[in-house]
Amino acid sequence: MNPSAKWQEAMVGSMVAIAIGFSLSAGLVTGVFAIIALAVRKEDRQYSLTRPARGVAARGVRRLTGVGTRDITPSVIWRQPAERTLL
């Protein structure tokens, strides 16, 4: 085997390793986004932002997005607007 063939084989091997690493990283990022999307959708369907998070995914998503129940009060959210009277 000549030296250039060994060099090309090493180059192909490193490119394959980089491609595998990139694919795994892309899959991990896609999985994290999918979990976030599912948890947000579940919270939206249940109108549960005024209560403590029910699951691990919901707690994690709230921590990632910075949303919590600290500043949210149900009476303010569900209160009907006051009627206006014209003078």
Tokens standing for residue 10: 């090493």
Answer whether 49's CB lies under 8 Å from 74's CB.
no
- On the question of pLDDT at 22 being above 80, the answer is yes
20: Cβ–Cβ under 8 A, 6 or more apart, which residues? none
- On the question of pLDDT at 75 being above 70, the answer is no
Average pLDDT of 14-35? 94
The string over 46-58, giving b where at least 16 C-beta atoms fall within 10 Å of a residue's C-beta and e elsewhere, is: eeebeeebeeebb
**C-alpha span between 40 and 19 (Å, rounded):** 31
**Per-residue pLDDT tens over the stretch 47-61:** 777 778 788 888 888
Q: Tell me what the pLDDT averaged over the chain comes to.
A: 78
